[in-house]
Chains A and B, each alone.
Chain A
Amino acid sequence: MKILVCLKRVVDYNVRIRVKPDGSGVVTDGVKMSINPFDEIALEEALRIRERGDAEEVIALSIGPEDCQQQLRTGLAMGADRAILVTAEAAVEPLAAARVMLKLIEREGTDLVILGKQAIDDDCNQTGQMLAALWNRPQATFASKLELADGRATVTREVDAGLEVIDVELPAVITTDLRLNEPRYVKLPDIMKAKKKPLETLAIADLQVDVTPGVQVETYEPPPTRAKGIMVDSVEALVSAMRDKGLLG
């Protein structure tokens, strides 16, 4: 079995996001970039499946600028066997990303695709679902547990009402939630070894997929801030303040 894992390059989750004063975007110059944390969980899960002997190869894919090589090298250091970078200078919307992924799935003959439930930059939460639709295969989104047996996957999903269990036939698309696993740390010798692993680069234009954006982003703004509240010094004052706001009626 071959597993494809998609790794998006995003602003590191520890960075405090600042909107540029002219509203043209968020500040990314000199900011630490990382693998989208949900995608890192996806890669960890794929590696565990391979290490259990249920898969032969884990391929890491990234779509974006040349710099995505850094995240792919990290993925290779974590244990991916090889990497593919599809270079794109302009932002790639989820539907276009799904089209690119499908091209590579068809080329590679992939049985399982694992990716994050969302990227922590655009927070779209779409790509896995769209890929499953275009591929005409099952999707199991928001996975917190994944078991493979007899060509099927039993997936526990984190839904609003609790934990939902579904059973899907492979090939399938799985999107990860935080609780699926804890990704491993990369060790220095693995970083050295990763430099020798294959990393193929393709231009998005050569894949002949429609990447026309569906929407135009006009402006970026910081979120509104809440007005300063009051501090009270007793339960009686708390209850009285809540009654004044009509919250206990």
Chain B
Amino acid sequence: MSKVLILAEHDQAGLNPSTAKCVSCAAELGADAIDVVVFAADASGAAGAAAGLEHVSRVITVERAENSSPLAAIIAPQLATLGADYDYVLGPSTTFGKDVLPRAAALAGVGQISDIMAVENPQRFQRPIYAGNAIITVTAPDNAKIFATVRVASYRAAGESGSAAPIESASVDAELPTHTRYVELQSGSGDRPDLQTARRVVSGGRGVGSEDNFKVIFNLADRLGAGVGASRAAVDAGYVPNDMQVGQTGKIIAPDLYMAFGISGAIQHLTGIKDAGTIVAVNKDADAPIFEVADIGLVGDLFEIIPALERALGD
């Protein structure tokens, strides 16, 4: 009888798709129960979405005013307390999960496994190290309580089950600190699909040339219903904000389609897109390393190719 608790990520309104990816990982653990916990001021939206996911046995909501912001110092003590009854406590390897899970694990007195990319058996996991340049297999002792983050790029989101799991409200007896205050979120990308979970991503690099020129990337992305990414070079050149960065030092993503325009393909960028379904690359330089990993490559000027591509898509 093993039980899994998954920390839901949400924006107080809806569930972040990373949660459904954690559910897919949890489903490989052979557990008897997979519960999802939503810490929020008002959990109804996220809890409803989590309850509809396949494999989910139960959704637990912990609603209190302090849970209105995603602060690790507030959420971790509650997660550690609630997690005491579980064999596994999982969260996504997003900035939210990476912030909360290790704090909760340490409060529970145990270590944490970061970025599970595959479950070999309920005690044996694969995870990347050295920015994905090596993969290790680690084993936890039998009956050990396991706290882990799930590498979201390695899992598909769990589907809808067709019937809703029960939603139960709980109160958690944990002392919450007052030393940490949430101020604000300065958001970058607006209405476009979230880069980390978008099925299609269009990215631009230094070859785009300027902040103004990046409009062509945004336009194509909107045409395809895609999220927009950028290489570190484009971010460092100030064309776009850093939350759009794809790569080892930015976001590691796995869309079905990744289109790279004017991106040379530094190792650190390729690390972020290795799990993409299909990589399409357009670059002026036929020797650019991006073509070594691209499934479809086209040598040429992106400012001629993107308008032609839009025309070809138009019919």
Contacts and interface: CB of A to CB of B under 8 A. Distances in A.
Interface of A: 11, 16-17, 19, 26, 93-95, 98, 120-127, 129-134, 136-139, 141-142, 144, 154, 157-169, 172, 178-179, 213-223, 226-227, 229-239, 241-242, 245, 247-248
A202 B94 CA distance: 36
A207 to B, nearest CB: 17
Contact of A226 (B100, B101, B185, B293): B293
A232 B124 CA distance: 42
Given A164-B182, A222-B135, A233-B298, 17 more contacts: A11-B130, A94-B111, A95-B105, A123-B114, A129-B102, A139-B73, A160-B195, A161-B187, A162-B243, A164-B183, A165-B184, A166-B180, A214-B144, A218-B137, A221-B134, A222-B133, A226-B279
A246 to B, nearest CB: 9
Contacts of B26: none
Contacts of A126: 102, 105, 111-112, 114
Contacts of A11: 130
A116 B160 CA distance: 39
B contact residues, range: 35 or more
Nearest to A156: B186
Interface of B: 11, 71-73, 76, 94-96, 98-107, 110-115, 124, 128-140, 144, 177, 179-189, 194-196, 200, 241-243, 249, 251, 256-257, 274, 278-280, 291, 293-299, 305, 308-309, 312-313
Nearest to B114: A124
Given A93-B111, A229-B297, A219 B278 contact: no
Given A126-B114, A245-B278, A218 B139 contact: yes
Contacts of B180: 138-139, 166-169
Contacts of A227: 295
Contacts of A127: 102
7 contacts: A95-B105, A158-B242, A215-B111, A216-B139, A221-B135, A223-B134, A233-B299
A31 B9 CA distance: 40
B243 A164 contact: no
B309 A166 contact: no
A232 B111 contact: no
Of the listed residues B71, B103, B114, the one surrounded by the most CB atoms of chain A closer than 10 A to its CB is B103
A26 B103 contact: no
B136 A219 contact: yes
